Amino acid sequence: MEIKKYLIQNFISRFCFLASTFLVNILFANLLSASGSGELYYTINNFSVITLLAGLSLESGNIYFLAKKEIDDTELATLSLLWALIAALLVTALLMFSRDNYFSATKYNTPAYSFLFISGSLLTTYYSGLFFAKQNFIFPQLFPAISNFFILLAGGWFFFIMKEKNHADLIITIYFASFIVNGLALGIVYHSKYSSGILFRLPTKYNIKKLLGYSIFAFITNIVAFLAYRIDYWILKAFSPGIISDSALGNYIQVSKLVQLFLFVPTIVATIVFPTSASGINKDFHKQFRKMIQRAFLLNLIGCGLVLIAGKWMFTFLFGASFSLMYMCFVFSIPAILSITIVRILASYFAGTNRIKYNFTGSLIALIVIIFLNLLLIPLMGINGAALADSAGYISYMVFLLILFGRNR
């Protein structure tokens, strides 16, 4: 009964967030066109890699040890706050000296955007983990949804009502600022809701060692998983402009963002499975767990079928005529969507039962397959080849985890 309640809470809050994110994505697609939005999201992809590296996956340790009640939440919150701000400052300073070497291709890699995105993303991720460990799934999705709503209001006013595109830079600045606003808001609410009187207290050396031991292994696993999911961006960029045009890259990135919408249900389930399995598994858990996987897979199968029917006209209607390449790219991405659905849920179960090594091995298999097939298929099929490579990689990952789950329940 508790799992059902958490599923409903998580569904409502995450739906609001993802719906607002999807609308912001449509706004930027219309505001910047395929090539312009591709440049923006390519920069965000680079910032996301940096954030992943700087974050050391502390959120995984936060959820695991707070759910098991082995480390006090005040200690975890204090370390998370300090880590997020210091890491963002150090990384931003580093980028100021190296951006001409690594980020000269985009105009969004400013120090201000870097600090806002990295610090805000880390704070949001860390405090979201603490909320999830407390079985509170509303606030981590509510604040970003509210921020997206204000971005839509501002963008809609200038673009659709005033018919002006020259305010795009202002909208993008508001967008980057929303990340740190979300992170700070989550921190304030968490401390006011769960703090026992002491706002700040650093963990003991023993707890830090224990936290980092779990988090760093999760960090290595997450890097491999992230590369498996995003490395095709860089491979496609390497093939431009000879084989892949800027417009084609923009189409591919939009398909990738659409794939993220299909992670809606499996992410809801995974968010609940991780702290639940970490806190202890009862005899009914595996039965409920199998049902959740089956239902998530069925829902995404139906969703893919609907997009398969309507996507050919829907994509150009929503995003504009420059996104005509999205449909076939999405068709080749359907096996990846269905495989990731199962992978996302199984990986959270293995993480909660302290068997992250399975996730690491599966991610590594997927990454190797994806890199090899990307290099082979992109020259032959363009962005459709990249989508097919992703599908093959995630099918391999899914089969690997399913075999282990059947053997090690």
| Same-domain status, 290 and 154 | no
DSSP letter, residue 158: I
Read out DSSP for 365-385? HHHHHHHHHHHHHHHHHTHHH
234, 190: one domain: no
> Are 194 and 240 within one domain?
no
CB 124 within 8 Å of CB 183: yes
Q: Please say if the pLDDT value at position 105 is more than 70.
A: no
Q: Quick one: 237 and 173 in the same domain?
A: no
Task: Give yes or no for a cis peptide into 379 (omega within 30° of 0).
Answer: no
Cα–Cα distances in angstroms (integers) from residue 378 to residues 229, 326, 339, 385, 396, in the given order: 16, 15, 21, 5, 20
pLDDT of residue 104: 47
With respect to residue 208, please indicate whether it lies within any of the assigned structural domains.
Answer: no
In-domain check, residue 222: no
Q: What is the pLDDT of residues 175-221, one digit of tens each?
A: 999 999 999 999 999 988 887 666 678 888 899 999 999 999 999 99
Question: Tell me, what's the pLDDT at 318?
Answer: 82
Q: Are residues 272 and 364 in the same domain?
A: yes
User: Same domain for 159 and 241?
Assistant: no
Looking at the domain assignment, is residue 1 inside a domain? yes
Q: How far apart are CA 165 and CA 170, in angstroms?
A: 10
Residue 44 domain boundaries: 1-203
Which tokens sit at 42? 């390519």
pTM here? 0.77
Q: Do 183 and 281 lie in a common domain?
A: no
* Residues shown for the chain: 409
- 210 found inside a domain: no
pLDDT digit string, tens, across residues 233-263: 888 888 877 788 888 888 898 898 888 889 8
Domain count for the chain, please give it.
2
CB 24 within 8 A of CB 152: yes
In a domain, 359, yes or no: yes
Instruction: Tell me whether residue 212 is in a domain.
Output: no
State which of 168, 203, 238 marks the end of a domain: 203
Q: Which of 203, 218, 241 is the endpoint of a domain?
A: 203
CA distance 368 to 387: 15
Task: Kindly report, residue by residue over 48-92, the tens digit of the pLDDT.
Answer: 888 988 999 999 999 999 888 888 888 898 899 999 999 999 988
Q: Does 102 have pLDDT greater than 60?
A: no
The answer to the question of residue 221 being in a domain is no
d(C-alpha 108, C-alpha 172), whole Å = 9
Distance CA 169, CA 161 (A): 17
What is the C-alpha to C-alpha distance for residues 139 and 148, in angstroms, rounded to an integer?
Answer: 14
User: Do residue 162 and residue 269 come from a single domain?
Assistant: no
User: Residue 209 falls within a domain, yes or no?
Assistant: no
Tell me: the pLDDT tens digits for 366-388? 999 999 999 999 999 989 999 99
| 57 conformational bin, left if phi > 0, alpha if psi -120 to 50, beta if neither | left
Helix H or strand E encompassing 89? helix 73-102
Same domain, 46 and 190: yes
Dump pLDDT digits (tens) for 262-273: 988 899 899 888
Asked if residue 243 and residue 197 are part of one domain, the reply reads: no
The band of 402, judged by pLDDT with boundaries at 50, 70 and 90, is very high
